[in-house]
Structure 1
């Protein structure tokens, strides 16, 4: 048994924080629509996240993919005969769809005739037809219909970003989310036939003049019913409605719950599963379409990270809380799925240790009340404190299990996660507030929570760590330069570091998002890019900086990270850079542990020991 291979070692001598990473996990199993006893799920049991097939009739579980950098993008054909998965190169997100028989066999090209691309949605029909969304750095977005044995037929093309939303139950209609109006944050919906002719258009942006988005939630699961379940923002939050693209009829749905609402069809088409998200927690409800009856389903307090209704009316869902590791549950009350046993790892970590619960902090900021989630170790503060900033930016931290923050708590740090302006879950206005002062708006909110944390006695003002990945990594580097006196250490994973170079090198869909956020290209609005770029402020950075970056990252490409590092090196500023052979993060468990171990060591080395009162000891 070796230190480098957690899959080959048991619990002895392994710290709890590493156990949380190494413990076997499973994702929510997706089932084949016409063969509900066949499912597909992800697991890390081999030490790398891969796809697994599960035959519920026999109980057999089989590993489907086996790649050095892991695989998570997969789908089951409605008849359950085929598993589709996306084959990229070392995490670069650029590749093709392949497929494999459910019970095993060689992989084969699933979409012959289509060149490699970035995936922009996939929908599989009951007759074997596939609807494939694609984008490239040159040709914009396309949608192709691929019939068994036939050549791909292009049914949609546009230079702005778009993707496949859904395929109707009878295989006659395709729903496409698009941003032809130029606002990449707010999609419109077009429904077309399989020959590309338009049936209906729903555009709450009114050609880009309003900031109201739509989201495809799925066609009715019944032949002859063209209704589409649509998410809208007409009342300042996400909520569902029904739209008939053939007649144009819209049917509002009254769901009297605060916060955002996601929805899915029950398989009989008579009810909806409502995923209700509010104040960083979520719960499930059943909504009867016939009379609007709303019934709460049994979901513990915490976060539902995905839910699927089954043909028998039960619901399976992936649940966790900050204190309790994730588990796939059923509304029947039992655990649905446990991780398969890897033949090569009979002594793997059995179960992830619990962590500490989160508490809520509500802090008044320059743009309104900010919600932050706080975890802290035992004892009295002030504590060295990590501000762990989420990515997105259109995302939010919730009361869910996360091995990273739990590791910091184990090492004596408090952890604060801020749902800054730009985060989802707090209304449309909150999400849309970051435009044009990109990065700076978010940091105002992080700064307000930082002041609260210090004033309340929770955080040691001399031992504050700013950390995050992706957009959180971007905000980390920007914060170190624009708030240089506030932070003792910065830890940035896969960050935007040089906004202009990042724009020119990143995947096309993110260029569209940046044009929306900043109001144009770097050539059109250079002052805005300069104001929002960490590179602009690199000479002001005072805190030691740790940066990790994927060599194959299409979202935060390596060249712009190197530009920032060169400027740090030119100043002789204390920093470390870790480059690894993957894309936008890693699916390999040991790689994740290695990176966090290096971050913790870097922070502890530069913060120094604490004295008895909790503040940093003098440097001498």
Structure 2
């Protein structure tokens, strides 16, 4: 018997995918690893204040390995790998105090690192070497996180460093920023990545190697690869040999290279106009995993990703799979555990047997009315300057409703953060919240996004607030031109750097967008550069806008806080009061200008939230506020109560 769908205006369709379901139903799963034969990972618990639980997949099912503990680090504010296996237990960073702890079965965790003396000590990217934990340590000297030093250190596994700071050995301090150490199989060498202000890690990074002396101290560090405009985004050693693998982009794409640690001679293993890595926003990210048989498991692609096995002869065999995104991979040498997702699949933890080519789901996605999910498609539109702009389109979809003939749907233009980042063309509950109600979504991968090579990534250099805004407008006008969208029913939405692009779009394209939802945005470039953000991004604007103070007038002219009078569209602004990346002062300066105007606006703040909301109640409140703003501005009546 055929299912008959009801007819109702776009935007007004009832949907079982509620704001509370979105907030609680799709866990953020990260930082996978093997402890013996078991796969472990961290999992954000929105219902527990955003706690990062350390989960383990056992023969009896999935259990919380450390109930009550929050396994998360604050290094560079965006975090990094917060745990590592240590024998039959683990070492990990606890969020509340940022100390390193050791846990062994049957015992309570014990601290390994000391309490900071007048400073905040943070740790990440841990590796166990004999009787020590080697890791990155970050020392933060002020509440604004602008005065920071970084060292590679060794913490005694016996816990003596917890009460005696002198027991903690400093190994190296080569750069303003560093990853944690990668230990060679021979135990005689160690490698890490480093970079200095004003470069960001996707601009130029050094691969550093040092010898390990018999007493555990390091020899003279030496750069062996990268630098001079080459970005190395991952380094690892081969299994069983002191051969280095590095993901770097000397030819304009992040490809995998084999590097001689003695001479620095490098050869590309699989030269493709594809990315085998991503921007290093978090310390300890990996995309290539050396395997026991001498091959390497790799994640590669452009607008989507494949998981493959790269053989020593350079041949690449991809795993047959419905998934198009793979993240936080880990290996035991023969199998790969990874977070996988695709256009028809939400995030799940899967275990891939590379020899057999089979995939087993360890942690399935929570049931979430997937029959209401829209299937995204990749789209390109050519801008006025001839450059193709990439986007992902999610059409309105419901198994229960259709719109009246001839009615165009309202559309939301999603702008991802970063800006040197990208969004994934996968099934997404937040997007389904809108599309299942009859609202289309287009997720723009503007120039500056990763995934399409350095030339596309560098297209934003010096042009932030211009090129990104133009690319969003190109895609929006393309949707209007082919009849997918209509001019008076389009809103724009973004967070952080995406919030910047959304607000600048309101000031430069006032007739194109009719509403906006803005999450923890950058709004005042002068203030953000001189007094408004943390160390990691404190000089990011020098590549995005230009050198400071030489281009002071450009910083001022592009900042929407100085052009509030141009904003005519209603908007809602969401801000975490504990945000050190985009502090509330930025939002408050914009609001001061809006208050003097007649523009409909709302400002929602959240105690205890930082840069990126983690609490279920916060996420649900924001989604409801967005939906009702769009209803008022784009001409539909939502079926939901606020």
SS of match in other structure, 1:443? helix
Q: 1:384-422: per-residue Cα shift (whole Å, max 9, x none)?
A: 110011011111122122222211112221101111010
Q: 1:48-75: per-residue Cα shift (whole Å, max 9, x none)?
A: 4532332635546125253799889631
User: Does residue 480 of the first structure (1) align with residue 480 of the second (2)?
Assistant: no
CA spacing shift, 1:183–1:202, aligned 2, 3 Å: farther
User: Does residue 535 of the first structure (1) align with residue 539 of the second (2)?
Assistant: no
SS of match in other structure, 1:64? coil
Aligned to 1:274: 298
CA distance, structure 1, for counterparts of residue 602 and residue 222 of structure 2: 53
SS of match in other structure, 1:254? coil
CA distance, structure 2, for counterparts of residue 368 and residue 123 of structure 1: 42
Deviation at 1:276, TM superposition (A): 1.3
CA distance, structure 2, for counterparts of residue 595 and residue 472 of structure 1: 16
When the two chains are superposed, the root-mean-square deviation of aligned CA atoms in Å is 3.0
Give the 5 Å matches for 1:96-135.
96-103=98-105, 105-112=107-114, 114=116, 117=120, 119=122, 121-127=124-130, 128-134=132-138
Unaligned runs of 5+ in 1: 1-11, 89-94, 341-348, 611-620
Aligned to 2:362: 337
**TM-score with structure 2 setting the length:** 0.82
Q: 1:128-165: per-residue Cα shift (whole Å, max 9, x none)?
A: 32222425322443332323335223334467333336
Aligned to 2:614: 587
User: Does residue 599 of the first structure (1) align with residue 602 of the second (2)?
Assistant: no
Match of 1:260 among 262, 275, 278: 275
CA distance, structure 2, for counterparts of residue 176 and residue 536 of structure 1: 42
Aligned to 2:248: 232
| 463-472 or 392-401: bigger deviation | 392-401
Give the 5 Å matches for 1:116-515.
117=120, 119=122, 121-127=124-130, 128-134=132-138, 136=140, 137-148=146-157, 149-150=160-161, 151-157=167-173, 160-164=176-180, 166-180=182-196, 182-184=198-200, 185-193=203-211, 195-202=217-224, 204-206=226-228, 211-222=229-240, 225-255=241-271, 257-262=272-277, 263-268=287-292, 270-278=294-302, 280-289=303-312, 291-311=313-333, 313-332=334-353, 333-338=358-363, 350-351=367-368, 353-354=370-371, 355-365=373-383, 366=385, 368-378=387-397, 379=403, 382-503=408-529, 504-515=531-542
Q: 1:556-603: per-residue Cα shift (whole Å, max 9, x none)?
A: 111122111112113343211111121112222232122111111122
CA spacing shift, 1:62–1:249, aligned 2, 3 Å: same
Q: Do the aligned residues in 1 keep the contact of 2:207 with 2:235 (CA within 8 Å)?
A: no
Q: Do the aligned residues in 2 keep the contact of 1:550 with 1:558 (CA within 8 Å)?
A: yes
**TM-score with structure 1 setting the length:** 0.84
CA spacing shift, 1:130–1:362, aligned 2, 3 Å: same
CA distance, structure 1, for counterparts of residue 483 and residue 22 of structure 2: 29
Q: Do the aligned residues in 1 keep the contact of 2:412 with 2:493 (CA within 8 Å)?
A: yes
CA distance, structure 2, for counterparts of residue 145 and residue 420 of structure 1: 42
CA distance, structure 2, for counterparts of residue 29 and residue 423 of structure 1: 23
Q: Do the aligned residues in 1 keep the contact of 2:190 with 2:209 (CA within 8 Å)?
A: yes
Q: Do the aligned residues in 2 keep the contact of 1:189 with 1:201 (CA within 8 Å)?
A: yes
CA spacing shift, 1:444–1:69, aligned 2, 3 Å: farther
CA spacing shift, 1:369–1:143, aligned 2, 3 Å: same
SS of match in other structure, 2:393? strand
CA distance, structure 2, for counterparts of residue 586 and residue 80 of structure 1: 34
Q: Do the aligned residues in 2 keep the contact of 1:314 with 1:331 (CA within 8 Å)?
A: yes
CA spacing shift, 1:556–1:118, aligned 2, 3 Å: farther
CA distance, structure 2, for counterparts of residue 147 and residue 454 of structure 1: 62
Q: Do the aligned residues in 2 keep the contact of 1:32 with 1:79 (CA within 8 Å)?
A: no
CA distance, structure 2, for counterparts of residue 38 and residue 476 of structure 1: 40
CA distance, structure 1, for counterparts of residue 367 and residue 361 of structure 2: 17
Aligned to 1:66: 68
SS of match in other structure, 1:357? coil
CA distance, structure 2, for counterparts of residue 271 and residue 317 of structure 1: 18
CA spacing shift, 1:435–1:541, aligned 2, 3 Å: same
SS of match in other structure, 1:96? coil
CA distance, structure 2, for counterparts of residue 558 and residue 370 of structure 1: 32
SS of match in other structure, 1:442? helix
CA distance, structure 2, for counterparts of residue 485 and residue 26 of structure 1: 37
Q: 1:18-65: per-residue Cα shift (whole Å, max 9, x none)?
A: 4344336472672346x2436233154856453233263554612525
Q: Do the aligned residues in 2 keep the contact of 1:20 with 1:352 (CA within 8 Å)?
A: no
Match of 1:84 among 78, 82, 92: 92
Deviation at 1:247, TM superposition (A): 3.6
Q: Do the aligned residues in 2 keep the contact of 1:123 with 1:166 (CA within 8 Å)?
A: no
Deviation at 1:243, TM superposition (A): 1.4
SS of match in other structure, 1:508? coil
CA distance, structure 2, for counterparts of residue 353 and residue 368 of structure 1: 35
CA distance, structure 1, for counterparts of residue 586 and residue 179 of structure 2: 28
SS of match in other structure, 1:284? strand
SS of match in other structure, 2:562? helix
Q: Do the aligned residues in 1 keep the contact of 2:208 with 2:222 (CA within 8 Å)?
A: yes
Unaligned runs of 5+ in 2: 1-13, 74-78, 141-145, 162-166, 278-286, 398-402, 638-642
Q: Do the aligned residues in 2 keep the contact of 1:131 with 1:164 (CA within 8 Å)?
A: yes
SS of match in other structure, 2:573? strand
CA distance, structure 2, for counterparts of residue 353 and residue 166 of structure 1: 41
